[in-house]
Amino acid sequence: MLPSKLPHLKNLKISLVKPWSSPNYDVFSLVSFLDASPALESFVLRVEQDAMMHDPVVGDDTEYRRQNLECRNNSLRKVMITGFCSAKSLVELTVHILERTHSLERFTLDITYGYDRRTCNIAKFPIARMIGQCWSLSKRALEEAHRAVETADRYIKGRVPSSVQFEVLGPCPRCHIGK
């Protein structure tokens, strides 16, 4: 996508859901939407569980920078990635946004696909509030959530500028402790 193809777009929400997205989809390609939207202020990426391959990040954290991408966004202030996981292309996208966006104020990584703490607090599902527990996570989802938290700590946290409010929402400690 060429720069400035979406010159007036201020808010962008993209959902990657199964079965419509290929599990081999390179999430990093979403950079083209960011680069084509110079007025973009808010970006939300929702990644459904199993919508992408969890090609885990391994090795030196300096390896996870795609080169020759000079586009910068000077309007983007808020980014939220729901369903953040340890997939290499998702880490690369996150690093790209952090390193190329100087106007960023807030960056949130929600590890739990949006149905954990935030869902209960927002009370979209009154039953969860009535029983006082979050929606359960499968054993596999919980294991990936812990890998994702470790990935965020190792590969992303150190790249967050001090001026950016950074938050990682992991599994609810009240409902998922010891699981």
Q: What is the pLDDT of residues 43-102, one digit of tens each?
A: 999 988 766 655 655 555 555 455 545 556 789 999 999 989 888 889 999 999 999 899
Question: Phi, psi (5° rounding) for residue 39?
Answer: -95, 5
CA 163 vs CA 11, 25, 75, 78, 89: distances in Å:
21, 32, 15, 12, 25
pLDDT at 138 over 80: no
pLDDT at 34 over 60: yes
Check: CB of residue 51 under 8 Å from CB of residue 18: yes
